[in-house]
Amino acid sequence: MPASDSRTSSLPRSVLIVEDENVIRSTLAEFLASEGYVVEGVGTVAEALALAHQQEFQVAVCDVQLPDGDGINLLRRLQQIKPDTFVLIITAYATVETAVEAFKAGAFDYLVKPVIFDDLAHKLQRVFEYRQLFFENQCLRRELSQPQQFDQIIGSSKPIKDLQLTIAKIAAAHSNVLLVGETGTGKELFARAIHSTGPMQDEQFLAVNCGTRPIELLESELFGSETGGNSQPGILRTAGQGTVFLDEIAQLPMGTQTKLLRAIEYQESMPAGGSQTYSVQARIIASTSQDLMRLVGDGTFQEDLFYRLDGVKIRIPPLRERLDDIPELVDAFIARHSRAMRKRVTGATSETIRLLMSAQWKGNVRQLDNAIERAVIMCDGDTIESHDLPPDLLGLGQPLPDTDDLRSALRHYERLHISRVLRQWPDKREAAKRLRLGLSSLYRKIEELDIET
Ligand SMILES: Nc1ncnc2c1ncn2[C@@H]1O[C@H](COP(=O)(O)OP(=O)(O)OP(=O)(O)O)[C@@H](O)[C@H]1O
């Protein structure tokens, strides 16, 4: 059953009355309105279906006999087009046959004419309570059926599937690994995945950011120290046969690089101030967002260490190269953040997804995660809409044209729009089709508007 706005308990309770007798219809409508329901009334099957197409109703109360059809058929049609709408049938005769037929067709309950207000109020109360529990239960079941580990790699684009295969192979070998990718692409997540798929998964995974500590602290944290007040074993030793993740390895000072190289080559190290070596058995997974080869050329990264690490290198592509993953990531992040905030946000509109798929994502998956967190906070209903997204993401934060001249302004927006479509559809033929331009016109626009592709 698809998610829809009508499920939220915070929305007003809406009821559609389908009853051809005007007096009965308006009396019921007045009574329900006085009870706080938002009510619409119609007299025929055709009107009911037309209205249900335009508007969401949580509950429909349908008479069995209508001028252009019967209520049971209407109930079946409603279930096809609005499966979230629950139906109560009104029947003139309390026959077992009618009741059975109504229940078989999927009615929640039935009322007998003349409808008694108390009976109607009671049954509506029950249907709304049941409906709420039903959808909450469905949400819970959906959450339980999805693995909720935070280190789960989400995405089924080709690059992610290929990476998963590579990881499975590399993980088995317990070799050292270099992960290369822009910030926020998931390097640490992949490092954890390699560790937890490998033979030493029960051992420790220890992470160090190489750029956030003064050199002495970093070295004693890595290799250990036996000097006075700063005595510690060092994570290369503590990790045992587990994994040491060295985040942003390019920031490791040259001297520390030499010590690390020794630890990898000789599989042993010595704590600062110590007199005895210990053996290093941990797998080293290093990550970088920089081009290490270039740093070797610049003389800021040790060549030998580079070759030691570069043997098994995995490139994690930026999010813009795997836009197909966005819908899945969005779903997972919505589930995570709505759960944390105790909000019932269950999805995003297709317009929102389309916009998300056309953003630039310089901060990659981390930026997407943050954008969804904000959207869940901003979201008023149960579905994230485009206006819930951070404005700068949509290009709305882009500078306005610096002139009032309409022609220049149009040119400005034309450039923004074409750039966005090209990001979403890098294949120019496809982009041209989406823009409803001929391919040669698109090329001309790209040149005229100086669009980077
Ligand atoms: N494929 C993915 N599926 C689910 N979550 C992901 C995925 N990729 C990244 N993330 C999430 O994005 C955030 C950033 O990931 P991570 O810290 O692993 O990136 P990174 O490349 O190591 O970043 P940095 O270089 O800035 O340290 C984390 O919250 C991570 O869980």
Residues 37-49 pLDDT 10s: 999 999 999 999 9
Q: What is the pLDDT of residue 8?
A: 44
Give the ligand 1 atom nearest the CA of 247: 27
Residues 432-444 pLDDT 10s: 998 999 999 999 9
C-alpha span between 305 and 98 (Å, rounded): 81
Q: What is the pLDDT of residue 181?
A: 96
Give the ligand 1 atom nearest the CA of 192: 18
Segment 399-407 mean pLDDT:
71
CA of residue 184 to ligand 1 center, whole Å? 5
CA of residue 366 to ligand 1 center, whole Å? 6
Give the ligand 1 atom nearest the CA of 325: 1
Segment 103-127 mean pLDDT:
88
List all residues 6 or more positions away from 73 whose beta carbon is below 8 Å from its beta carbon.
45
- Paired tokens of 6: 């009508």
Q: What is the pLDDT of residue 1?
A: 33
Q: What is the DSSP letter of 401?
A: P
Q: What is the DSSP letter of 242?
A: S
Give the ligand 1 atom nearest the CA of 316: 21
pLDDT, mean over the chain: 86
DSSP reduced 3-state for 57: coil
Question: In a mutational test of the pocket of ligand 1, which residue from 150, 366, 373 has the highest number of ligand atoms less than 8 Å from its CB?
Answer: 366
Residues 172-181 pLDDT 10s: 887 899 999 9
Question: What is the CA angle 172-178-179, rounded to 5?
Answer: 95
Edge-to-edge strand order for the sheet containing 205-209? 205-209, 243-247, 283-288, 177-180, 313-315
Strand partners for 172: none
Question: What is the CA angle 222-227-231, rounded to 5?
Answer: 55
Q: How many residues does the chain have?
A: 453
CA of residue 187 to ligand 1 center, whole Å? 6
Q: Are strands 109-112 and 86-91 parallel, antiparallel or unpaired?
A: parallel
CA of residue 371 to ligand 1 center, whole Å? 14
Question: In a mutational test of the pocket of ligand 1, which residue from 182, 183, 188 has the highest number of ligand atoms less than 8 Å from its CB?
Answer: 188
Residues 283-327 pLDDT 10s: 999 999 999 999 999 999 999 999 988 878 999 999 989 999 999
CA of residue 363 to ligand 1 center, whole Å? 10
C-alpha span between 390 and 202 (Å, rounded): 41
Percent of the chain clearing pLDDT 70 (strictly above): 91
Nearest CA to ligand 1 atom 16: 186
CA of residue 369 to ligand 1 center, whole Å? 9
Residues 338-350 pLDDT 10s: 888 888 888 999 8
Provide DSSP, 232-278: E--HHHHTTTSEEEEETGGGS-HHHHHHHHHHHHHSEE--BT-SS-E
Give the ligand 1 atom nearest the CA of 179: 21
pLDDT band at 401 (very low <50, low <70, confident <90, very high): low
Q: What is the pLDDT of residue 322?
A: 92
Nearest CA to ligand 1 atom 9: 186
pLDDT band at 15 (very low <50, low <70, confident <90, very high): very high
Segment 4-21 mean pLDDT:
72
Q: What is the pLDDT of residue 10?
A: 52
CA of residue 346 to ligand 1 center, whole Å? 23
Strand partners for 269: 278
Judged against a pLDDT cut of 80, whether residue 393 lies above it is answered with: no
For ligand 1, residues with CB inside 6 Å are 153-155, 181, 183-189, 247, 287, 289, 365-366, 369
- How many C-beta atoms lie closer than 10 Å to residue 104's C-beta? 9
Question: In a mutational test of the pocket of ligand 1, which residue from 153, 185, 194 has the highest number of ligand atoms less than 8 Å from its CB?
Answer: 185
List all residues 6 or more positions away from 218 whose beta carbon is below 8 Å from its beta carbon.
208, 210, 252, 253, 256
- How many C-beta atoms lie closer than 10 Å to residue 288's C-beta? 22
